[in-house]
Amino acid sequence: MKRLFLFASLLASALASAQTEYPSGEVVTTRLHSAHLENDMGENPERSVSVYLPPGYHESEKRYPVIHFLHGFTGDNTMLEPMAPLLDKAIATQRVRPFIMAISDQKTTYDGSFYSNTSVFGNWEDFTVQDLVTYVDDNYRTIPDRDSRGITGHSMGGYGAILLAMKHPDVFSSVYALSPGALAIVREYGPNSETFKDFATLETEEDLAKTYFGKVVVAFGRSWSPNPNKPPFYTDLPFDYSSGQLQVNEHALQKWHDSMPMYMIDEYRENLLKLRAIKLDWGRNAGERFTIQCAMFSQRLENAGVSHFAEEYIGTHVNNIYTPEGRIPQQMLPFFDSYLEF
């Protein structure tokens, strides 16, 4: 929880400094029911959606490209409201031409959907790619074309952006992943980490709530290898220490590999080549689980002949992103200004 509180305080203080006299856009929040999210496990199929409309939207008949932003683990759509001043400033200072941005709430009872179809806890990929994209295009003056539609996100959202772009180049033409996670099994999520050893000692949801990496592992499992017949965590995991020794569940491990972009490149290489532009970045001091997997993923893309941009910058996993001089206004938005059709 300390990571969540630190991120929230950094975001609030950074964005407070972005309040200026620049013309303001509008954030509209509504609710969207999705049949794709209907399930028997208690996840709410009605989700909040926040949409940023640029300054001048209501005074013109102009159509705008859309940037779909995917939030991180434990986050939700409410982050768009404090982000709006950054977007206002970027437009006013001509870092980017006016655009629409949408963020949907994909915080689950296990803290994050990982934008994946589970069939058990809801089909979050289908919700995002089909329901959300259609809803935004039907209700706002977008340019409803893949060349004018980009996808981005931070952390879990960066993972989701890469996942959905590589699977749906007919929907999104370009992708920018801000410090993405869950690209590969490394460090705290590897078989010889303490995470799975500690997880074997957990017996209840209350025990789980006291952990961080354990909660992420359960979110991975419910997203990629759910098991509705295995309470209390309802997931099969690839690694188990309940017997005191490492046991590998090959079936679950394969499901995780099938859902982690590092291991999906060969299968989706042709889709990746259809994208107009791909970029990922990560903070040098974000921790090895981020720096290692991001570098591995970039190297694997290079080896597969997939053109892309990759950048390690001076920062952590949460700083130098949501600030007036940070990654969102200075790198991510200009990226989409270059590669989206306005």
- In one letter, which amino acid is 196? F
Query: Distance (Å, rounded) from C-alpha 196 to C-alpha 79?
Result: 32
**Burial label, 155 (beta-carbon count in 10 A; 0-12, 13-18, 19+):** buried
The whole-number pLDDT of residue 222 equals: 98
* Residue 324, preceding peptide bond in cis (omega within 30° of 0): no
Query: Distance (Å, rounded) from C-alpha 223 to C-alpha 77?
Result: 19
pLDDT along the chain (342 residues), means of 10: 51 53 95 98 98 97 98 98 97 98 98 97 98 98 98 98 98 98 94 93 94 95 97 96 94 98 98 98 94 97 98 96 96 98 98
The whole-number pLDDT of residue 2 equals: 47
Give Cα 159 to chain centroid, integer Å.
5
φ/ψ bin of 78: left (φ > 0), alpha (ψ from -120 to 50), beta (otherwise): alpha
Query: Distance (Å, rounded) from C-alpha 134 to C-alpha 32?
Result: 11
Q: Spell out the domains of the chain, with CATH numbers in brackets.
A: 2-184+265-339 (3.40.50.1820), 190-255 (no CATH)
The whole-number pLDDT of residue 11 equals: 58
Sheet holding 174-178, edge to edge: 26-33, 46-53, 100-104, 66-70, 149-154, 174-178, 277-283, 309-313
Give me the helices (H) in the chain, please: 2-16, 80-92, 124-126, 133-139, 156-167, 194-199, 205-209, 213-224, 250-257, 265-274, 288-303, 327, 333-339
The whole-number pLDDT of residue 12 equals: 57
Number of other CB atoms surrounding residue 42 within 10 Å: 8
Tokens of 205: 């949801």
DSSP 8-state symbol, 64? B
Contact status, residue 141 vs residue 57, Cβ threshold 8 Å: yes
φ/ψ bin of 187: left (φ > 0), alpha (ψ from -120 to 50), beta (otherwise): left
The whole-number pLDDT of residue 8 equals: 55
